[in-house]
Structure 1
C-alpha cells in the first residue's frame, strides 16, 4: 500500500501559510516604522533612528525573500514575491526620506543593500517561473522496432543564464522617463495615474522635461545636457551623475552627487547637500504655471526659505567657502519660466 502523499504536501502548504502570515506581520511592522521614529528614540540621533528602522525593514525583506526561495509552484509563489517587493519598496522610501540626514557612508551602504535585495528578488522571480515538467511519451515508432510501453523523460533543459545584478538605473523606483535622446517630455502629475507617487529620470541626453503638479520623491540619474523643470516634491530629490544640465525644482530635501557644470534653481526647506561635485551653481526657484501656488502650498513649500544659497559640501570640511559651488550671477540667471501652455508630448517609458 502506497503512503498517503497528500499529507506532507498539506503540511508543507500549512507551513507556507504560516510563513506568509509571519511575513505580513513583519511587513506591517516595517511599513509602520517608515517615517516614524521608534517609541524609545527620544535620545537617539537621526542616524541611529534610521539604522534601527532600516534594520527592521531589511529583516522584513530578507524574510520575504526566504519565503520566495521556499515556495513551490503549488504554493502561492506570487504572494511571496509581492510581499518581498513591498518590503523592498519600504526600504527605498525609508532611504529617500532620511537621505538628507545621513552621512555619505551610511547612505551608500543603504543604497547598496537595497540594490542587493532587488537583485535577489529578480533571481527569485526568475526561479519561480513555471518550468517544463517531465513529458510522458512512447519511443518513436519504427517498423523494425515495435512501440515500447516505457516512460522516458524529456532531455534535460540547460540551466537558466545567471541573472546579472541590476544596475542603479533598473532599481530606481517609480514612473518616469528613461533612456531617451533629444526628446521633450511634458507631464501633468495632477491628472496622471502616478499622482503623488515616486518619479524617475534616468539616462537622458539633450532632453527637456516639464513636470507640473506634485510627486512624492524624485530620482535623477545620469543626465547629460538636459533642462528639467519640476513643480513640487513632497519629500526628497536624489540626483546622481549629471553633466551640463539645468534643474528648476522645489522640494523638502535635495541631495546631489557627482554633478558637473550644472545650475540648480531651487526652493528647498533644508540646506541642499552636494558631494563629489564641481562647477555647480545655485539660484532661486523660477518656475511658474497655472495652479503652482496651490501645489507648493499643499507640499509645504509656499515660503521661500533662502536655503538655495546655503549649500553643504560634504567633501569640503574646511572653514572657508567650498570651491565646488557658487551662486549664479544675477545677470546670468533665468527669468521666470512659465509652462502653463505646454501640453503632454511624450508617454512614460
Structure 2
C-alpha cells in the first residue's frame, strides 16, 4: 500500500514537472516571437533610438533658426516629417513601454512640435487677421483651442497639432446631419471634425490622422488611422475608431469602441467607457491590414489616465458592459 502511495506521489510530481517545463517553453517561445517582431524594441534600444532621432531634429531646428535666410518652407516640412516619424516610432512601441516612458516621450514630441512652430513663425510669418470672408469667421473655434493649449501645454492636443487643424479637410459647424466621406483612393492626409452637434459621421477608408474638437451627442464611425486620433472637448458621443495612437482630453460621458496599437490616453475626462472596435464596411479588412491594425491587441481595455496617479483603478473610465455594447456597425460605401 505504501509503495502504491509512493508511486502515485511520484507520478503527480512528474506531471507537475512536465507542466512547469511546458509552461517555461511557452514563455520562452512567446518572448522569442516578440523579440523577432519588426515593431518591437526593448526599452533601452527604443530610448537610445528615440534620443538619437530627437537630437537630430533639435540640431536641424537650431541650424535653421540660426540662418533663416538660407532655408525655405520645404526645410521645415522635412523637419515636420521627421517629428511625425518619431511619433510613429513611439506609437509602434508604446505597447511594450512603461507608462512613464510613454508620457516622457509624448512630452518630448510636444516640445519638438512647439520648437518647430516657433521657428516656422519666424521663417513664414503668418498672414494678418482679416474679417473679409466667412472662412475667417469659421476659424474662430480653432483660435479658441489654440489659446487653451498655450495656457496648458501638458494637454493631449499640442500647439502644433492645433495649428494643423486649420488647414485640414473635414466637417465643421454642423448640426443634426449625417456626414459621409469616402477616403478610399485619396491621399492619406489629416481629417478634422470640429464643432458638431447631434451628427452621425461615417469615414470610409484610411486617414493619416484625425483631429476632433467640440462635439456634442455625435456618433463617429471611422476606418483605420495610420497615425494618431486626437480628441478634445466632447460630450455624450459614441466613437468607433482604429488607430496607432488615441489621445482623449476633456471627454464626458462618451463611449469609445477602439482598436489601438498603443494604450489609449485620457486626461481631464470622466464617465468614459471602452469596448473593442466593431466597424464593418467593404474592404475594411484590407484597410486594417495595410495600416498594421489587423491584429486585436486588447489595448482598448488598457487605458492610461494621466490625471490619476494612484495604484487603484481610475474612477474616470470603465469597461463598457457587454450587454450595453453595439454588436456591429456596418457602413456601406454606397452611402458615400
**TM bracket (short chain):** 0.5 to 0.7
Which ranges of structure 1 fall in alignment gaps of 5 or more residues? 1-35, 72-78, 130-163, 345-349
Q: Counterpart of 2:44?
A: 44
Q: Counterpart of 2:86?
A: 94
How far off its partner does 1:128 sit? 11
User: In the comparison of the two structures, how many residue pairs are matched?
Assistant: 262
How far off its partner does 1:314 sit? 3.1
Which ranges of structure 2 fall in alignment gaps of 5 or more residues? 1-37, 129-142, 147-158
Q: Residue 343 and residue 63 in structure 1: after superposition, are their counterparts in 2 closer, same or farther (change >3 A)?
A: farther
2:81 aligned with 1:82, yes or no? no
Q: Give 3-state SS (helix, strand or coil) of 1:303's partner.
A: coil
Q: Give 3-state SS (helix, strand or coil) of 1:214's partner.
A: coil
CA distance in structure 2 between the aligned counterparts of 1:128 and 1:274, rounded to whole angstroms? 34
Q: TM-score, normalised by structure 1?
A: 0.63
Q: How does 1:1-349 map to 2 (within 5 A)?
A: 44=44, 46-47=46-47, 49-68=49-68, 70=69, 80-98=72-90, 100=94, 102-104=101-103, 106-108=105-107, 110-126=109-125, 167=146, 168=159, 169-172=162-165, 175-177=168-170, 179-182=172-175, 183-192=177-186, 194=187, 196-344=188-336
CA distance in structure 1 between the aligned counterparts of 2:284 and 2:261, rounded to whole angstroms? 17
CA distance in structure 1 between the aligned counterparts of 2:231 and 2:260, rounded to whole angstroms? 14
CA distance in structure 2 between the aligned counterparts of 1:236 and 1:88, rounded to whole angstroms? 15
Q: Residue 175 and residue 212 in structure 1: after superposition, are their counterparts in 2 closer, same or farther (change >3 A)?
A: same
Q: Residue 332 and residue 45 in structure 1: after superposition, are their counterparts in 2 closer, same or farther (change >3 A)?
A: same
C-alpha contact 2:228 2:245 (8 A) present in aligned 1: yes
Q: Residue 109 and residue 244 in structure 1: after superposition, are their counterparts in 2 closer, same or farther (change >3 A)?
A: farther
How far off its partner does 1:57 sit? 1.4
Q: Which has the higher helix share?
A: 2
CA distance in structure 2 between the aligned counterparts of 1:207 and 1:228, rounded to whole angstroms? 8
Q: Give 3-state SS (helix, strand or coil) of 1:235's partner.
A: strand
How far off its partner does 1:166 sit? 9.5
C-alpha contact 1:268 1:307 (8 A) present in aligned 2: yes
Q: TM-score, normalised by structure 2?
A: 0.65
Which of 221-230 and 164-173 deviates more?
A: 164-173
Q: Residue 299 and residue 105 in structure 1: after superposition, are their counterparts in 2 closer, same or farther (change >3 A)?
A: closer
CA distance in structure 2 between the aligned counterparts of 1:326 and 1:216, rounded to whole angstroms? 28
How far off its partner does 1:118 sit? 2.2
